Amino acid sequence: MSDNRTESIINLEKSFQTAFRTFRKDINDLFSDDVPANEFAVLNLLKDKDFLTASELAAEMKVSSSHITGVTDRLIKKDMITRERSVTDRRIVYVKITEKGHSVAEKLASIRHEYFKEKFSALSDEEVERMIDYLNRMV
């Protein structure tokens, strides 16, 4: 790999880190009256699927099961989710969103959408499509 490409990749890495840290901080600030972004991520998954097991949540979010346990414990205390055993297999425990959790998830999804709409407003439609393509090719 040429020195120029190596330097460019280092600069790209720094730009990604700066952008994602900024997005994370801004989103957490916007959500501060309700829930942190990691709790929103769980609510957001559940609002579309109604219920998942803890291991399914962990896999979807690409985090450990112990992380999900902590997040779900906090959301249960806030009455935003519940844990319910399967009626067919008592070993299976489902995490389900409550009406309150669904309402908060909808509200925060809208706030997040408006945030990113503003963040990307300086980009043309073509630039946005190129970014989507570039990001999808990397994952």
Domain map of the chain by residue range?
3-138
**Each residue's pLDDT tens digit in the chain (139 positions)?**
788 999 999 999 999 999 999 999 999 999 999 999 999 999 999 998 878 999 999 999 999 989 999 999 999 999 999 999 989 998 899 999 999 999 999 999 999 999 999 999 999 999 999 999 999 999 8
As a 3-state breakdown, the chain gives helix, strand, coil percent values, each rounded to 5, of: 70, 10, 20
Enter the pTM of the model. Answer: 0.84
Contacts 24+ apart (CB under 8 A), 85-94: 92/53, 93/53, 93/54, 94/51, 94/52, 94/53
Domain 3-138 part of CATH 1.10.10.10: yes
Only one residue has tokens 């070993």, namely 91
DSSP character string of 80-121: SEEEEE-SS-TT-EEEEE-HHHHHHHHHHHHHHHHHHHHHTT
